[in-house]
Amino acid sequence: MSASQFSTKQRLLGAAEALFAQHGFAGASLRQVTAAANVNLAAVNYHFGSKDNLIEAVFRRRLDALNARRHAALAKVESKPGATLEDALEAFIRPALELALDRHGGAAFMRMLARAYAEHDERLRRFLSDNYGHVLREFAVVFHRMLPHLVKEELYWRLDIVAGALTYTMADFGLIKRRAGTSETAHREYTVEHLVGFAAAGLRAP
C-alpha cells in the first residue's frame, strides 16, 4: 500500500508542506502528516530523525533552488552597467513569485514561509539565517550601494520588513485565482512589476 509514484521521503515532504501551511508547525501533528502521506508514523523519525529535522528538510527542498536562482539573477544584474534598484528587486522577487505560482505545492510552501516569517521563531530564524543568509547579504550589499542615503542598520530592518511583506503578499497571491482572460505569464509579469514598485517605494523613502 504505497499508492504513489513517489518515495516515502518525498511523500512525507509533500504532505508536511501542505499541512504545515494549513495548520502551522505546532498545529500539524506527525500523525496527521503520516496519515496524509500514507506512511507509517515511525517513518518520520526513521527518515528525518525528528519533527524539527522534517521541518528543515521541507524548507531545504525549495529554498536551495530559490536561493540559487536569486543568486544567479543578482549576478546578472551586477554584470549590467546601468542597473537600477528595480532591477535588483526583480532579481529578488521574480524567483520567489515563480515558486509561489509553481503548480506542485508552490503555493503551500509560500504560505508556510509566510507563517515562518510571522512566527519569529528563534530556532527557525537561525536555521534560515545560517543556510540562506549569505544570499540575503549579497542583496543587502547591492541595495546599500543603490541607497546610499540609508545607514546600514536602517537598511537592514527595512529589508527585513519588505521581505516579510513581500512573502506574505506572495503567499496570498498563490491562493488567488488569476483573473479570467489573463494568461499565466501576463499575470506573472503584471504581478512582478507591481511588487517591485511596491518594494522600491518602501526602500527609497527618506
Minimum CB separation of residue 179 from a second copy in Å reads 7
The least distance separating a second copy from the CB of residue 95, rounded to whole angstroms, comes to: 20
Cβ pair 146, 88 in contact under 8 A: yes
Is residue 119 part of the contact set for a second copy (CB under 8 A)?
yes
Residue 23's CB is within 10 A of a number of other CB atoms, namely 14
Strand ranges, E, within 12-131? none
**Cα(first)–Cα(last) distance of the chain, in Å?**
61
- What is the crossing angle of helices 85-100 and 152-175, to 10°? 30
38: left (phi over 0), alpha (psi -120 to 50) or beta: left
Q: Does residue 201 bind DNA (CB under 7 A)?
A: no
Query: Shortest gap between Cβ of 35 and DNA (angstroms)?
Result: 9
- Please tell me whether residue 194 binds a second copy under the rule CB under 8 A: yes
Q: Show the cell assigned to 171.
A: 503567499
Indicate which of a second copy, DNA, none lies near residue 7 (CB less than 5 to 8 Å, by partner kind). DNA
Q: Is 161 in the site for a second copy (CB under 8 A)?
A: yes
Q: Is 121 an interacting residue with respect to DNA (CB under 7 A)?
A: no
For position 125 contacting a second copy by CB under 8 A, the verdict is no
Among DNA, a second copy, none, what binds residue 179 when CB lies within 5 to 8 Å by partner kind?
A: a second copy
User: Contact region for a second copy (CB under 8 A) — 54-62, 75-83, 139-147, 191-199?
Assistant: 191-199
Name the residue among 108, 89, 63 with its Cα closest to residue 194.
89
* DSSP structure class, residue 6: S
Size of the site for a second copy (CB under 8 A): 31
Rounded distance, CA 195 to CA 202, Å? 11
Interface with DNA (CB under 7 A), residue from 22, 24, 36, 43: 43
What minimum distance in Å lies between the beta carbon of 7 and a second copy? 29
Of 174, 198, 20, 18, the residue nearest 96 (C-alpha):
174
Stretch that binds a second copy, among 91-99, 114-122, 129-137, 138-146 (CB under 8 A): 114-122
Task: Provide the binding-site residues for DNA, judged by CB under 7 A.
Answer: 1-2, 7-8, 28-32, 39-47, 49-52
